[in-house]
Structure 1
Amino acid sequence: MTAFSLDPEQTAWCAELRALADERLRPLAEKGEPGRVNRPLVEALGELGLLDRLFAGEGPGGSAAARSPAPPATSGALGLCLLRESLAYACTEAETALALQGLGAHPVAAYGSARQREQWLAPARAGRAVAAFALSEPGAGSDAAALALSAVPDGASSWRLTGEKCWISNAPEADFYTVFARTTPGAGARGVTAFLVPADRAGLTGTPLDMLSPHPIGALAFDGVTVTGDDMLGEPDRGFRVAMTTLNRFRPSVGAFAVGMAGAALDATLAHTAGRDAFGGKLKDLQAVAHQVAEMATRTEAARLMVHAAAAAYDRGEPDIARRAAMAKLIATETAQYVVDAAVQLHGARALQRGHLLEHLYREVRAPRIYEGASEVQRTIIAKELYAAQPAPHPAPHEEPSA
């Protein structure tokens, strides 16, 4: 198997996932309330074993050595991408619920103690506890190293968290949060520590935010919330590594989410343009329409290949994961925006009607270009990694002054 083709087992699994999402998960999603955690849907993801796949092969520290060197065809980062793409194609709500569980609980799987893993990871994998990843703040969104939530020492091995988090998916309804706080002022990325904070911890409150995206997003306020060494994930002042390891794992799969939406929009467009009567023929017979569909398909396939390649590189433990993950997220999310927008245009007014697939996708597709690192941040990461890989320039040879 290469990153550029799927074997029969993977292809069959993707088809099975699409059918499962359509038959078992979509009915639960349709019963949910926009902007609220759909707990029956999360529990179904656990019962079906899909949440377990988010953490398969992950060990303490999140290192490549903790993963199998030759993961099975449907596991690892590539398996995660296939899972997210397939669910997104058939039911974006199920995909998002699954992804948010992974984002919030992955730091516990990779860096948590045995006690933390038993108390919180086990119920999260079963869908009985809802997780959230609390990194962004009102003044530190894309610039995660600038976060200001303070962790002030309170004794030998405890701290008090004071400040705010904002735009946190699953907040304020999550059962526990992976929270990143500043333990060393003025140290930038090197002074951040990750903590596991239960939602019922005294001093922690939350407020839902009314956002364009249909999944739950909220703000959190920390008023002297006590955390101890037992709540820490990883090492003191090394929380930025916890955050980046998590984001690098999930960034290619954010691209897979986008590719799944693009694929759904493309297939809807193919069906519509092939059956729609217009100007004495079918809509697809118009060259402008046919060329537009061809462009949509080409961009979608290119994005899919880059997502698969980045995920396969992650599974192999290659050194350039940050660059490849950023490239995959960038191209896939920008492509999905283009494809869904073009699909709406080719469908006309019907695609703007509330409840239409494309109306739903149009609301869903915008956010991934911002969260887990906006497109501009991805370009910055890519450029930084490219220049870092360049050899040091040789000094110019000394030139004798002319006579």
Structure 2
Amino acid sequence: MPDHDFLDWPFFEPRHRDWAAEVETFAAQHAAPHGDDVDAATIALTRAMGEAGLLRMAVPADGRLDVRALCIARDILARHAGLADFAFAMAGLGTGSITLFGSDALKAEYLPRVRAGTSLAAFALSEPEAGSDVAALATTATRDGNAHWRLSGQKTWISNGGIAGHYIVFARSGEAPGARGLSAFVVPADSPGLTIDARIEVAAPHPLATLGFDDVRVPDSNRLGAPGDGFKVAMATLDVFRATVGAAALGFSRRALDLTLERATTRKIFGGPLFDQQMSQAAIADSATEVEASALLVYRAAWLKDQGTPRVSREASMAKLYATETAQRAADRAVQIHGGLGVTKGHKAEELTREVRALRVYEGASEIQRVIIARAERDRHRP
């Protein structure tokens, strides 16, 4: 049985426990191995989540994102299957900017389809030469009269690239130098000039692509926020969803701990269970302690955001940094205690090592999280 004792912590309300039970039931029924067609599996999982009503939390009809509920969902789904977590997360990340900054018309046009699971969403920020350094974005947005913009450039590492119905695209509109001169747009996937330049294969299969924008014409009504607000839109969206990456890492860590404990208590070695070896106990103790610490950091950040704290960048960065680094260590311990099985393709321990690695890179690499945390500490201690 999964450990849901954390739901008794004061961070949560009764509705969160009901939600966790709902997600757990869905995951047990639908988060099965997806086969070789990752696109089809992602589309099917998204549709199933929409039909089950799970995407109402990722794409709320009332516009109020419950970050604790998002984290609970990713925690549970990741423990079951990485692709299920991915499908849920992208519904939220690919619409979060619309939820937070979109006009009523944009919300009405795009959100219901994603909430129903009939359309997939994507967040197009990264570029070949601009990942963590958002101010280095080179994709341009040029005015075309008063009512339109023209987008040109390239985006890469875009999750749901090639299968999304729309993309949230960030481009340099030139109001000011650096990050202050960016704007955000909702770009339909069928826009003329928008191409899928390449599909990207990664260690843990997920739909990823490089997108090309060749003079893509977008109406000004598809802009999110004011011209020059693109960095603000991106950071506000990530401020909500960064802690949920930590929650996904937490779910992977929980599964790694379960595998480690199961193997240690069932595997016989030197005349007794592997668990009797003190180094095995140390591995279990370290993973268990780090899982609890990760959960506290993740759900503290989520709780603070839900309480109306304007910015939780420091707390969300701490949660993402610690939980994702923990997931890497917990997965490695699971592999180590399984021996040869742990590096056998198709074994869950081997799968976990591939699933968790990207978490330390996307939505701000661990190194960037350390920069954010350090600067926040400096600012907090200034006279």
Query: TM-score, with normalisation over the residues of structure 2?
Result: 0.93
Q: Structure 2 residue aligned with 1:245, among 231, 236, 239?
A: 236
Q: Whole-Å Cα distance in 2 between the matches of residues 210 and 48 of structure 1?
A: 30
1:214 aligns with 2:205: yes
Structure label with greater radius of gyration? 1
Contact 1:167 1:218 in 2 (8 A): yes
How far does residue 252 in structure 1 lie from its aligned partner after superposition?
A: 0.6
- Give, in angstroms, the shift of residue 20 of structure 1: 2.2
Partner letter of residue 251 of structure 2? Answer: G
**Aligned counterpart, 1:384:** 375
- The one of 110, 118, 122 aligned to 2:108: 118
- 8 Å Cα contact 1:55/1:102 also seen in 2: yes
Partner of 2:260 in structure 1? 269
Q: Deviations over 1:46-70 (max 9, x none)?
A: 11111111133863xxxxxxx5xxx
Contact residue 239 and residue 311 of structure 2 kept, 8 A: no
The aligned runs of 1:188-337 (5 Å cut-off) are: 188-206=178-196, 207-337=198-328
List aligned pairs for 1:2-401, cutoff 5 A.
10-11=16-17, 13-23=19-29, 25-27=30-32, 29-31=33-35, 33-34=37-38, 38-56=42-60, 59=63, 67=64, 76-184=66-174, 187-206=177-196, 207-392=198-383
Answer whether contact 1:104 1:178 (CA < 8 A) is retained.
yes
Q: CA deviation at 1:180?
A: 0.3
Q: CA RMSD in A?
A: 1.9
**Structure 2 CA distance, aligned partners of 1:170 and 1:328?**
25
Distance in 2, matches of 1:305 and 1:124, equals: 31
Deviation at 1:245, TM superposition (A): 0.9
Q: 1: distance between equivalents of 2:233 and 2:175?
A: 18
Measure, in 2, the Cα distance between the counterparts of 1:109 and 1:188: 25
- 47-56 or 10-19, which deviates more: 10-19
- For residue 2 of structure 1, report the CA deviation from its aligned partner: 8.4
Give distance in 2, aligned partners of 1:182 and 1:239: 8
Q: 1:82 to 1:117 in 2, by over 3 A?
A: same
Find the aligned partners of 1:262 and 1:94 in 2 and give their Cα distance: 16
Indicate if the aligned counterparts of 1:4 and 1:308 stay in contact, CA closer than 8 A: no
Go from structure 1 to structure 2 and tell me whether the alpha carbon gap of 1:185 and 1:113 turns closer, same or farther (over 3 Å shift).
closer
Summarize the Cα distance change of 1:15–1:348 in structure 2 as closer, same or farther, 3 Å threshold: farther
CA distance in 1 between counterparts of 2:128 and 2:233 reads 21
User: Structure 1's 319 and 106: CA in aligned 2 closer, same or farther, altered over 3 A?
Assistant: closer
> In structure 2, how many angstroms separate the alpha carbons of the residues matched to 1:312 and 1:384?
22
Q: How many aligned residue pairs are there? A: 376
Change (3 A) 1:312 1:169: same
Contact 1:55–1:109 (8 Å) recurs in 2: yes
- State the 1:291 CA deviation: 1.1
Distance 1:143 1:4, change over 3 A: farther
Task: For structure 2, list consecutive stretches of 5 or more residues without a partner in the other structure.
Answer: 1-6
User: Which amino acid in 2 is paired with 1:301?
Assistant: E
Q: Kindly, what percent of the aligned residue pairs are identical?
A: 44
Counterparts of 2:321 and 2:172, CA distance in 1: 29
- 1:225-244: CA deviation from partner (whole Å, max 9, x where unpaired): 01121111111110111111
Offset of residue 185 of structure 1: 6.6
